[in-house]
């Protein structure tokens, strides 16, 4: 087998002739080192020669899952199991892909099969714990995490997930002990460090959270996420909006689990936007040119598609856009920062919708002026923000310790009027649950004025 792999700036040259076993070893090494393009090509070349090679099927399934092609990944891993059904890790991998596809019962069966074949399979117990927590079967989740830790006392992910479970149950102080154990085992584990800071935040102990972020930033001074959360907890050097780097890295990092996570939080922003649209536009006739601003994984897309002759989406996260594209409802998707994207348009849309995107903006004046310019006369803007008390946000907005901004009703209305929106209405709504508490929001509908009503700012 001939093989020359080029993956970005890294080139890996194999001997001119490779056995299938050597080629598989090379592919696995490329895979583990993050060179997915090279690994995928080699797996496919191996399968072209031996379509039933079980390891190549299994590992290609994992690569395919990372690419977001979940159905194909399930098919590949199932085929590897059919060829060689006695390998526990393959059932665990299958469970992971099924979980990503939100096929929960099938995922549970896969993990249970892994445990049947290998009763000391700590990863499978850990993964079962994740599902049980999502199902609010807290006692079963605790047992699963404890079993994973008993089997493998150094299982960092099980300690971190156990901490997450304790937070969900309102036991933040106990959660801190679990996160601390994870950090003892892996001192620079980002998940554990971030979650222990969040646990302190939930207890109102912003000083301890601030201390964690300061020490973290000393080691990683360019970490956009830590900079943002330090400002959120300390109240120092608060930016007027979250940086592009913070938004992009945050959402890329959990794009594959975003929808499932929001479902567990009873996330309602897209449905609230859709309801506001139904109130404002009585007939869904597919006649509007629509922008989903900050489209994420596309949760709003199917809800607004019945109104759209064309539906566009824009987002900063490539991972989110990949998931949105898979929904098959958008005519066009673009990776861009929202304000800059809108500033390049004039009278392009009849409707702009935005669910939970403005929570990453503090000052929203520039964005709303750009949205007004991008809308046609009488065009609609519908969006959600988290609601701030007037007394708690003297500037009209505030950056909260969780890293999102909230806005006062007065500030939102005044800024919309200044931007040229002639009709503004706002309804209270619950956007999601967080730490078992409802997150209060505003659902805003604004109609751009006609040409004579529009206000232009002089710079």
Domain assignment of residue 228, yes or no: no
Helix (H, G, I), strand (E, B) or coil at 92: helix
Look at phi and psi of residue 223 and say left if phi exceeds 0, alpha if psi is from -120 to 50, else beta.
Answer: beta
pTM more than 0.85: no
C-alpha Rg value of the chain to the nearest Å: 24
Please calculate the CA angle 310-316-321 and round it to the nearest 5 degrees: 55
Residue with tokens 């940086």: 243
Residue 459 has pLDDT above 90, yes or no: no
CATH classification of the domain holding 273: 3.40.50.150
Pick the more confident residue, 170 or 410: 410
Beta pairing class for 437-448 and 375-387: antiparallel
Domain assignment of residue 304, yes or no: yes
| Predicted confidence band of residue 12 (pLDDT cuts 50, 70, 90) | very low
| Predicted confidence band of residue 10 (pLDDT cuts 50, 70, 90) | very low
| Predicted confidence band of residue 21 (pLDDT cuts 50, 70, 90) | confident
Which residues, in sequence order, are CB contacts of 305 under 8 Å at separation 6+?
311, 329
Q: How many domains does the chain have?
A: 1
CB-count burial class (<10 Å; 0-12, 13-18, 19+) for 433: middle
Domain assignment of residue 200, yes or no: no
Helix (H, G, I), strand (E, B) or coil at 356: coil
What number is the average pLDDT over the span 338-359? Answer: 96
Domain assignment of residue 458, yes or no: no
Residue 200: what pLDDT?
94
* 283 CB neighbour count, 10 Å cutoff: 8
- What's the number of CA atoms in the CB half-sphere (13 Å) around residue 127? 27
Pick the more confident residue, 266 or 114: 114
Q: Which domain holds residue 427?
A: 253-448
Domain assignment of residue 29, yes or no: no
CA distance 196 to 204: 13
Residue 34: what pLDDT?
85
Domain assignment of residue 32, yes or no: no
**Beta-sheet strands, E only, within 268-362:** 288-293, 308-315, 332-335, 349-354
CA distance 349 to 291: 7
Domain assignment of residue 119, yes or no: no
Pick the more confident residue, 313 or 459: 313
Beta pairing class for 332-335 and 349-354: unpaired
Residue 9 has pLDDT above 70, yes or no: no
| Predicted confidence band of residue 69 (pLDDT cuts 50, 70, 90) | confident
CB-count burial class (<10 Å; 0-12, 13-18, 19+) for 457: exposed
Residue 297 has pLDDT above 50, yes or no: yes
Domain assignment of residue 381, yes or no: yes
* 22 CB neighbour count, 10 Å cutoff: 14
Quick one: which H or E segment has residue 423?
strand 421-434
């Amino acid at each position: 087998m001939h093989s020359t792999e080029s993956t970005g700036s890294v080139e890996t040259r194999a001997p001119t002739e490779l056995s299938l076993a050597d080629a598989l070893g090379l592919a696995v090494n490329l895979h583990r080192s993050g060179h997915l393009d090279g690994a995928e090509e080699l797996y496919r070349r191996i399968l072209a020669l031996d379509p039933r090679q079980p390891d190549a099927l299994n590992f290609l399934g994992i690569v395919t899952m990372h690419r977001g092609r979940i159905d194909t990944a399930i098919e590949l891993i199932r085929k590897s199991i059919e060829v060689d059904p006695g390998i526990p890790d393959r059932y665990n991998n299958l469970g992971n892909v099924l979980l990503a596809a939100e096929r929960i019962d099938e995922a549970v069966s896969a993990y249970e099969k892994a445990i049947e074949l290998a009763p000391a399979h700590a990863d499978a117990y850990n993964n079962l714990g994740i599902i049980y927590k999502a199902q609010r079967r807290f006692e079963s989740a605790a047992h699963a995490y404890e079993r994973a830790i008993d089997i493998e006392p150094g299982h960092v992910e099980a300690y971190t997930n156990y901490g997450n479970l304790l937070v969900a149950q309102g036991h933040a102080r106990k959660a801190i002990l679990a996160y601390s154990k994870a950090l003892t085992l892996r001192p620079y584990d980002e998940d554990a460090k971030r979650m222990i800071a969040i646990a302190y935040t939930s207890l109102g102990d912003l000083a301890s959270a601030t201390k964690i972020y300061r020490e973290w930033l000393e080691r990683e001074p360019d970490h956009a996420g830590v900079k943002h959360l330090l400002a959120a907890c300390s109240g120092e050097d608060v930016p007027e909006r979250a940086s592009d780097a913070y938004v992009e890295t945050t959402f890329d990092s959990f794009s594959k689990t975003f929808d499932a996570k929001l479902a567990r939080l009873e996330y309602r922003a897209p449905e609230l936007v859709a309801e506001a649209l139904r109130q404002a536009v009585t007939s869904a006739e597919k006649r509007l040119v629509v922008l989903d601003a900050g489209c994420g994984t596309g949760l709003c897309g199917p809800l607004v598609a019945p109104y759209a002759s064309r539906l566009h989406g824009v987002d900063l996260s490539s991972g989110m856009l990949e998931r949105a594209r898979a929904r098959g409802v958008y005519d066009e998707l673009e990776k861009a920062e929202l304000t800059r994207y809108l500033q390049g348009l004039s009278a392009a849309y009849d409707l702009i919708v935005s669910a939970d995107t403005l929570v990453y903006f503090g000052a929203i004046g520039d964005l709303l002026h750009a949205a007004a310019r991008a809308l046609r006369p009488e065009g609609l803007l519908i969006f959600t923000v988290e609601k701030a008390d007037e007394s708690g946000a003297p500037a009209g907005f505030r950056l909260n310790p969780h890293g999102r901004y909230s806005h006062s009703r007065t500030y939102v209305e005044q800024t919309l009027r200044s931007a040229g929106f002639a009709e503004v209405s706002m309804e209270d709504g619950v956007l999601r649950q967080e730490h078992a508490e409802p997150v209060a929001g505003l659902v805003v509908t604004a109609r751009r004025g006609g040409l004579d009503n529009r206000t232009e700012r002089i710079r």
